[in-house]
Structure 1
Amino acid sequence: MSRHAERTYRAVTAVQRRIANPLMRRSPLQTLLETTGRVSGLPRRTPVGGRRVGDAFWLVSEFGERSQYVRNIRADPRVRVRIRGRWHTGTAHPLPEDDPVARLRSLPRMNSAAVRAVGAGLLTVRVDLDG
């Protein structure tokens, strides 16, 4: 990762962790991805932008494999997603073979623009929702 990308990663994750995520988690309509902490075993809720298509929820991780929620998914792919205030269980699948830039074009515009602006090492994630 370039020096610029590393600085961007550190700055963005600091703002997300301390300011943006705590505020967005409180919004009842914010989409949340709940993973299980790979070390703590505790639920970890991360605000995400994505879209449900049939029985799958699609999102793009802005920092790919470096994202804590992707690392948690690798350890335990069972997740929950809160979409429009309703929780759904499912199994998450990181998809390195998918084109994340093309995928962003099919996802909500505001979030996609932010992911493209600050992201490095984008990674598509599909959550197969249960029933």
Structure 2
Amino acid sequence: MSRYREIKYRTVTSFQRRIGNPILKRLPNQTLLETTGRKSGLPRKTPVGGRRIGNAFWLVSEYGEKSQYVRNIQAHPQVRVRIKGRWHAGTAHPMPQDDARARLKTLPRLNSAAVRAVGTNLLTVRVDLTN
């Protein structure tokens, strides 16, 4: 990873971890992804942007396999997604073969713009919802 990308990654993730995510998690209509911590085994909630299409929820990770929630998914693919205040169980699948930039065009505009602006290694994730 280039020095610029590494500095960008550290700056953005530090802001998200300390300021952005704690605020967003408290908003009642914020979409959340709940994974199981790969080391701790504890539930981890991450604000995400995405869209439900049929029985699947689609999102794009800014940092691909470097994102903590993607690493948690790789260890434990069973997740929950809170959409419009309601929790849905599902199984998450990283989709490296999907065109993440094209996928962003089908997802909410504001979040997609932010992901494009700060992301350095985009990765599509599909959650197959069971309820």
Q: What interval of TM-score do these two structures reach, taking the shorter chain for normalisation?
A: over 0.9
The equivalent of 1:89 in structure 2 is: 89
1:80 and 2:77 are equivalent in the alignment: no
Structure 1 letter corresponding to 2:81: V
Structure 2 letter corresponding to 1:57: F
**Alignment size in residue pairs:** 131
Alignment of 1:1-131 (within 5 A): 1-131=1-131
Report deviation, 1:12.
0.3
Structure 2 letter corresponding to 1:60: V
TM-score normalised over the length of structure 2: 0.99
Q: Give 5+ residue unaligned stretches, structure 1.
A: none
Output the CA distance in 1 between the equivalents of 2:116 and 2:5: 13
Report deviation, 1:38.
0.3
Output the CA distance in 2 between the equivalents of 1:51 and 1:128: 12
Structure 2 letter corresponding to 1:80: R
Q: Give 5+ residue unaligned stretches, structure 2.
A: none
Output the CA distance in 1 between the equivalents of 2:126 and 2:6: 26
The sequence identity of aligned pairs, in percent, is 73
| Pairwise CA RMSD | 0.4
Report deviation, 1:2.
1.1
Structure 1 letter corresponding to 2:36: T
Q: Classify the secondary structure of the residue corresponding to 2:25.
A: helix
